[in-house]
Structure 1
Amino acid sequence: MITLPSKDSAKSKTRKSPSLRKSTRCMIAVILLMILLNLLAWCSTSFSDWYAETVFPRLSRTFSRLCGWIPFSVGEVLIAVALFLVIALPLAFVLCMIFVKGKRWKISCGFGRAVGWILTYILVTETCNCFILYHATPFGERYFRMRDYTGQELLTLYSDLVETANTLAVQVQRDENGCFVLQDDLYETANAAMQKLGETYSQFRGNYPQPKEIGASYIMSQMNLTGIYFPFTLEENYNGDMLDINKPNTVCHELSHLCGRIQEDEAGFLAYLACIGSESIEFQYSGTVAALEYVQNAVASRDITGKEAVMDTLCDEARQDMFVFLPENYWETKQETVPAVVATQTVLETSSSAMDTSLKLNGVDDGKQSYSRMVTLLLAYWDSQGKLS
Structure 2
Amino acid sequence: MVRFMRRLNRWIHPLALVFILLGIAAAGINIGYILSSRFADAFNAGVSSHIRVFMAHLTGWIPFSLAEFIVLGSPVIAVAVIVIAVRKAGRSSRYFVRTLIALLSVAALLYAMFVFSFGAGYRTPSVGKKLGLDREKVTVEELAGTMRIAVEELNGLADEVMIIRDRGSVRPYSHEKAVALCLDSYAALSDEYGFLAKLDAPVKELVTSDLMTYTHISGMYTYFTGEANLNTNYPYYVNVYTTAHEMAHQRGIAREDEANFLAFLVCIRSEDPFMRYSGYLNLYEYLYSALSADRALRDSVREGLDPRVQYDLVCYSRFFDKYRENTVATVSNTVNNTYLKMQGTEGARSYGLMVDLAVAYYRDRLG
Q: How many residues align?
A: 360
Partner of 2:336: 355
Partner of 1:388: 366
Q: 1:14 Cα deviation (Å)?
A: 10
The reply on whether 1:152 has 2:141 as its aligned counterpart is yes
- Choose from 92, 109, 112 the match for 1:124: 112
Partner of 1:168: 157
- Choose from 216, 239, 242 the match for 1:250: 242
Q: 1:139 Cα deviation (Å)?
A: 1.0
Q: 1:281 Cα deviation (Å)?
A: 0.6
Q: Provide closer, same or farther for how the CA distance between residues 348 and 158 of structure 1 changes in structure 2, counting only shifts above 3 A.
A: same
* Whole-angstrom distance in 1 between the partners of 2:44 and 2:23: 21
Q: 1:256 Cα deviation (Å)?
A: 0.3
Q: 1:93 Cα deviation (Å)?
A: 1.8
Q: Provide closer, same or farther for how the CA distance between residues 352 and 14 of structure 1 changes in structure 2, counting only shifts above 3 A.
A: closer
Amino acid at match of 1:182: R
Helix, strand or coil: the match of 1:199?
helix
Partner of 1:320: 311
- Choose from 349, 357, 364 the match for 1:377: 357
Is contact 2:16-2:102 (8 Å) kept?
no
Q: Provide closer, same or farther for how the CA distance between residues 272 and 240 of structure 1 changes in structure 2, counting only shifts above 3 A.
A: same
Amino acid at match of 2:139: T
Helix, strand or coil: the match of 1:354?
helix
Once the two structures are overlaid, the 10-residue window that deviates more, 157-166 or 18-27, is 18-27
Task: Report the identity percentage.
Answer: 23
Amino acid at match of 1:183: P
Q: 1:35 Cα deviation (Å)?
A: 1.0
Structure 2 counterparts to residues 19-168 of structure 1, below 5 A: 19-20=9-10, 22-23=14-15, 25-98=17-90, 103-142=91-130, 143-168=132-157
Q: 1:371 Cα deviation (Å)?
A: 1.1
Helix, strand or coil: the match of 1:229?
strand
Amino acid at match of 1:159: R
Is contact 2:168-2:316 (8 Å) kept?
no
The Cα offsets for residues 283-334 of structure 1, whole Å up to 9 and x where unpaired, read as: 0001110010011122232377x543322111122112237658749849xx
Helix, strand or coil: the match of 1:376?
helix
Q: Provide closer, same or farther for how the CA distance between residues 95 and 163 of structure 1 changes in structure 2, counting only shifts above 3 A.
A: same
Q: Provide closer, same or farther for how the CA distance between residues 303 and 177 of structure 1 changes in structure 2, counting only shifts above 3 A.
A: closer
Is contact 1:253-1:270 (8 Å) kept?
yes
* Whole-angstrom distance in 1 between the partners of 2:197 and 2:30: 27
Partner of 1:180: 169
Once the two structures are overlaid, the 10-residue window that deviates more, 343-352 or 40-49, is 343-352
Is contact 1:248-1:286 (8 Å) kept?
yes
* Whole-angstrom distance in 2 between the partners of 1:361 and 1:199: 33
Give the TM-score taking structure 2 as reference length.
Answer: 0.90
Structure 1 vs Structure 2 CA RMSD: 2.6
Is contact 2:20-2:109 (8 Å) kept?
no
Once the two structures are overlaid, the 10-residue window that deviates more, 171-180 or 247-256, is 171-180
Partner of 1:7: none
Q: Provide closer, same or farther for how the CA distance between residues 329 and 53 of structure 1 changes in structure 2, counting only shifts above 3 A.
A: closer
The Cα offsets for residues 96-135 of structure 1, whole Å up to 9 and x where unpaired, read as: 434xxxx424532441343133112211122223322211
Q: 1:166 Cα deviation (Å)?
A: 1.2
* Whole-angstrom distance in 1 between the partners of 2:343 and 2:77: 27
Give the TM-score taking structure 1 as reference length.
Answer: 0.85
Helix, strand or coil: the match of 2:160?
coil
Unpaired stretches in structure 1, ≥5 consecutive residues: 1-12, 333-342
Is contact 1:72-1:212 (8 Å) kept?
yes
Is contact 1:264-1:370 (8 Å) kept?
yes
Q: 1:209 Cα deviation (Å)?
A: 0.8
Is contact 1:196-1:278 (8 Å) kept?
no
* Whole-angstrom distance in 2 between the partners of 1:348 and 1:376: 26
Q: Provide closer, same or farther for how the CA distance between residues 61 and 326 of structure 1 changes in structure 2, counting only shifts above 3 A.
A: farther
Larger radius of gyration: 1
Once the two structures are overlaid, the 10-residue window that deviates more, 60-69 or 119-128, is 119-128
Is contact 1:140-1:377 (8 Å) kept?
yes
Q: Provide closer, same or farther for how the CA distance between residues 24 and 251 of structure 1 changes in structure 2, counting only shifts above 3 A.
A: closer
Q: 1:353 Cα deviation (Å)?
A: 0.4
* Whole-angstrom distance in 2 between the partners of 1:346 and 1:73: 26
Q: Provide closer, same or farther for how the CA distance between residues 16 and 327 of structure 1 changes in structure 2, counting only shifts above 3 A.
A: farther
